[in-house]
Amino acid sequence: MPRIYLDHASSMPVDSRVFEFAKPYLRESWGNPSSLHSVGLEAKRAVEESRGKIAEFIHAENESTIIFTGGATEANNLAVKGAALRNITKGKAVIASTIEHMSVLNPMKELQKNGFSLTMLPVDSTGIVDLKKLDSILTKDTVLSSVMYANNEIGTIEPIKDISKIVHEKGGFLHVDAVAAGGRVPIDVQNEGIDLLTLSSNDLYGPPGAGVLYVKPGVKIQSVLLGGGQERGLRSGTENVFALVGMGEAARIAQQEMKQESSRLLPIRDKFIKEILQIDQSYLTGHPTLRLPHHASFRFSFIEGESILLNMDMYGIQVSTGSACSSKTLEPSHVLLAIGLKHEEAHGSMVLTLGRSTSMEDVPVVSKATNETVQRLRRLSPMSQEWRN
């Protein structure tokens, strides 16, 4: 059975070009970048070249703004806790949108337990943040606001430049989790007024185990991981040279191919949406147009997301779900609840995230499998039977 992988928001295969480029740093150039001998200096040169590629990828001021981490979760923690604690004399209030990733929300909640005031910024039914509400809840004590560039679960793209203007008018810093958006839409941290920005290697077809935090010149943060002082003293620990070199090359390829790849995926995404919405009691989640070019997300009445995922996998099709069953808790997706869905509605979600292996030929196969899956599960669902009666 041929496999159709449509869960690229969860994990991406390492691009073969990236692997070949970075492979020497697994066995041949194995030096520690902190070592002063020639083997160490060779590794350091490779890491710095990668730093430069990523700076260019997001149009940063220079390569010194790029801090390598062990992944996006670590970068988000460093951004949130590092900025808030380093600038505590400016205020002890923070803001996060209600649809942020848990690696932003949980550090925010930890700050709240330690004396900070946390205000949640609501979104509308499509996932767009409420700009008027943002303006009203910002105060002179708000040191940091965090709004993701685009949501990984519903695909909605936020008006980052407008958000930045509002935040800066009140004197605060803006952190942007751009993991879902990186490599899908152009990012310009200078033009968009971003102070802190998070990226993930694996979400760029790079090796897992690497992430980036961009820190705008002049923005002060403190380390949350102490040790030998690597990465400007902000992220100690011996660098994963293979992963960091691979991430830089993945960013370079993404920058070069992004426009063409997005144009290729857009009609495929739209075809998926058109076909799947023909299923009775199916709905698109997220914004209908202001969404990532590779992202299609749905909810189906009367069935559970985990059952959808497992049934689709039997067809050789890998998808994601925002239901509780795919997470570590028993609660439905906080993102779907934030856009106004009821608990029972939030459980029946399916998320398709397309990638370089996706083609238009996949659409009828996936659409047929989705329809059969939904109909089969509804026949078994007590909720569906009650509705029909």
State the catalytic residues.
325
Helical ranges in 87-170 per DSSP H: 102-113, 131-137, 160-169
Contact 299, 87 (CB under 8 A): no
First and final CA of the chain: distance in angstroms?
38
CA distances from 183 to 53, 201, 267 (A): 13, 10, 18
Show Cβ contacts of residue 146 under 8 Å, excluding neighbours closer than 6 positions.
Answer: 79, 80, 94, 95, 96, 97, 100, 104, 108, 174, 175, 176, 177
User: Hey, what amino acid is at 30?
Assistant: W
In three-state form (DSSP H/G/I as H, E/B as E, the rest C), the secondary structure along 286-336 is: CCCCCECCCEEEEEECCCCHHHHHHHHHHCCEECECCCHHHCCCCCCCHHH
Please state, in angstroms and as integers, the Cα–Cα distance from residue 107 to each residue in 110, 114, 230, 233, 349, following that order. Answer: 5, 11, 23, 20, 27
Dist CA 197 CA 148 (whole Å): 9
Residue type, 307: S
Q: Are the beta carbons of 145 and 95 closer than 8 angstroms?
A: yes
Tokens describing residue 165: 């203007």
**Dist CA 242 CA 68 (whole Å):** 12
Beta bridge partners of 198: 177, 213
Contact 60, 214 (CB under 8 A): yes
